[in-house]
Amino acid sequence: MKVLIACEFSGIVREAFKAKGHDAWSCDLLPTEIPGKHIQDDVLNHLDAGWDLMVAHPDCTYLTVTGNKWMKPEYKSRFPNRIQQRQKAIEFFMTLVNAPIKHICIENPVGIMSTIYKKPSQIIQPYQFGHKEPKKTCLWLKNLPKLEPTNNVEPEYFISKSGKRLASWYYIPSYSQERQKTRQRTFQGIAKAMADQWR
């Protein structure tokens, strides 16, 4: 298949499909971290290039439920364009959903698209695919089967001073530019499951 991995700079999902013999390309505004077939550009310019399958990871900054607090009136002066930014993110998400591609997977954390668009086809966790990190991930699937777990492991948490249970990998790293990238990378076990099961 000719496969597009939209909004991916890591190359992880792209390389998983490449390993299965597919003509796989990633596309992102950032350069690829793993050398390979990568289009550094706005993916909207490349949706009609004859792809058979697209796995898309649109930016969740303005779509995730954790960002809802910044929409409150008391943050208006701090984030004056938040409503417009969210609307633009919604439009981008829906453009990917409606792309002229037969097989589509849109990946995002739990967020507002479950209400604005529809509930996800399934919700997966990295610990279903061999990784101890908990990270609830929604998949909206078009003409694709649900992913089957490949290796269930015990998730790892830590307990904060307030007694709240938190995912260690997500909260412990220090604040940095790399932290956001770490949160955006697809786990290898999930990437491999996609390439193994979507053929």
Q: What's the pLDDT score for residue 74?
A: 63
Each residue's pLDDT tens digit, 22-47: 999 999 999 999 999 999 999 999 99
Residue 8 binned pLDDT confidence (cut-offs 50, 70, 90): very high
Q: Among residues 198, 172, 194, which one has the least CA distance to residue 183?
A: 172
Least confident residue range of 26-35, 69-78, 101-110, 130-139:
69-78
83 within 8 A of 71, measured Cβ to Cβ: yes
Full set of structural domains in the chain with CATH: 2-197 (3.40.50.150)
Q: What's the pLDDT score for residue 171?
A: 59
Half-sphere exposure of 188 (CA within 13 A, CB side): 4
Whether 104 shows a pLDDT value over 90: the answer reads yes
Percent of the chain whose pLDDT exceeds 90: 69
Each residue's pLDDT tens digit, 49-87: 999 999 999 998 878 766 665 566 665 666 667 778 889
Beta strands in the chain (DSSP E): 2-6, 23-28, 38-40, 53-56, 103-109, 122-124, 137-142, 157-159, 165-167
Instruction: Give the mean pLDDT of 177-196.
Output: 83
Q: Among residues 145, 147, 149, 148, which one has the least CA distance to residue 128?
A: 149
Output the average pLDDT for the chain: 89
CA quadruple 197, 190, 123, 47: dihedral sign = negative
Q: What's the pLDDT score for residue 180?
A: 63
Per the listing, tokens 């290898």 go with: 188
